[in-house]
Structure 1
């Protein structure tokens, strides 16, 4: 039972109505972020709904009310449940948004390349922990994982981050590219890059390199490919 009082039941079974989607030639690279939840190799950005921030005032009021109640009293228990319900609302809203997003990605693309992020280690940075947790990166990857399995899609996980400072057009790598620089011009080919969109193109290139190198990526098992350099993370 959830702290809010909601009951959950988990049942596992094979659903014969779930069948692989028709194969297509679409492939997409996805770069995860905070301001933009994802940036894709086809030039799109999806804003982060930031559900915790959206419900913060309501949560703060509920927590303040809880702190005023006497420990062990019935009123405190009622106040505790109200706090738990706000947390549940945040989690439900976040998960619903991610389900719609991941379902669309899986329907439209045969191959999806993403970063394999060590979120547990990243949230140890207290300044960014809340923003990272509110983004729901782990849940997004989890949903992509099983939906690709269900629908016959290929999910390629890149073990190490490809650098945002590598030009996705010519391959030139900048010596320095501070996180506050969100757009930059390649000195070699003179192409102007959006930092996040460029990263998504590099991620796609790494994912497609799996096939070029002779590896196979099966729908029932995500494959990963190691990149040669680290990309600075997280970003806003």
Structure 2
């Protein structure tokens, strides 16, 4: 069996100076339109007590283009600007549905520079991509092939803080479901061991951020010594961003390999419903928790399981997985974090993490 899903393929590309200038201009216009539309929506709600629709924001964009102050908006493709309004509309829909916080303004330095092009704003011919307002195709490094016969429906161009350019192609792909497996596994997330499996296997945490901590600290000290607004500060900021990008790339690569393996080998993967946002408030563990990236691990498991016909079950965050004996089910009153091995009154000897993973698996199977 197989199913058709929408899947994004991301590649690095190298723009010409003219393309880089056009894209930088587009990024700035997208950010301006988003922020101005957000400001108008906030003003209308506070002063007039009404909500502004996407249709009204789109009409306002047309008026801005015709005004003298914002006539430069007409110099870039209109599609990324309209997409920015659609993203703002979706952000407000999520806010009113209590799925997200109130939308915030996009910062030139902190926000991701990106622009989204729909089918009317790009041309795709025989594996070559032309964007609106550009004469030459993008010089894309095809690190992996697109599915045979795939036609992109949406193209997103972005530039990260390290100055690297990326293009993401959204295509429809038919993915074959994996053959059913009888095996199920419980996963206990941790810091020393990134994941402990109910089989007894421990996957060591690579600690990517700690491995590059000296290099990062050196780059950050150099940045702190530069004058604000200077060219040297911009160069130093770029060096810091490149270290962060290296850490993030290695972490993402490791998580992809781990989650793909778990999904391929198991029909059901049971995890804890961890509240990472609250856990990082612990000042002593925040850096290590962020480096472990448990939220990204869970996200990868969930979408890959959906692709390949597997199941991911999340047990309640308050489930006392570490305090229960996986052999007899009795609960311990207290268990400090420094206790890594313990013995139950029934005679069973436990490794703390392996025991927790087995309890997580049992709880997940009971909930199914």
* TM-score, length of structure 1 as denominator length: 0.86
Inter-partner Cα distance in structure 2 for 1:161 and 1:148:
24
1:156 corresponds to 2:313 = yes
Partner of 1:6: 164
Partner of 1:19: 176
* Aligned mate of 2:233, from 57, 71, 76: 76
Partner of 2:329: 171
Q: Which moved more, 1:133-142 or 1:70-79?
A: 70-79
Query: Is the 2:275–2:317 contact (alpha carbons within 8 Å) kept by the matching residues of 1?
Result: no
**Runs of 5+ consecutive residues of structure 2 not aligned to the other structure:** 1-158
Partner of 1:144: 301
* Aligned mate of 1:182, from 340, 344, 360: 340
Partner of 1:124: 281
Query: Is the 1:162–1:199 contact (alpha carbons within 8 Å) kept by the matching residues of 2?
Result: no
Query: Is the 2:271–2:313 contact (alpha carbons within 8 Å) kept by the matching residues of 1?
Result: yes
Inter-partner Cα distance in structure 1 for 2:338 and 2:270:
25
Partner of 2:290: 133
CA RMSD of aligned residues (A): 1.1
* TM-score, length of structure 2 as denominator length: 0.56
Mark the structure with the bigger radius of gyration. 2
1:126-153 CA-partner distances (Å, limit 9, x unpaired):
1111110000100000000100001100
Partner of 2:193: 36
- Which of the pair is proportionally richer in strand? 2
1:205-232 CA-partner distances (Å, limit 9, x unpaired):
0111123xxxxxxxxxxxxxxxxxxxxx
Larger relative contact order (C-alpha < 8 A, sep ≥ 6)? 1
1:3-49 CA-partner distances (Å, limit 9, x unpaired):
11112333332211x21100010100000000000111000000101
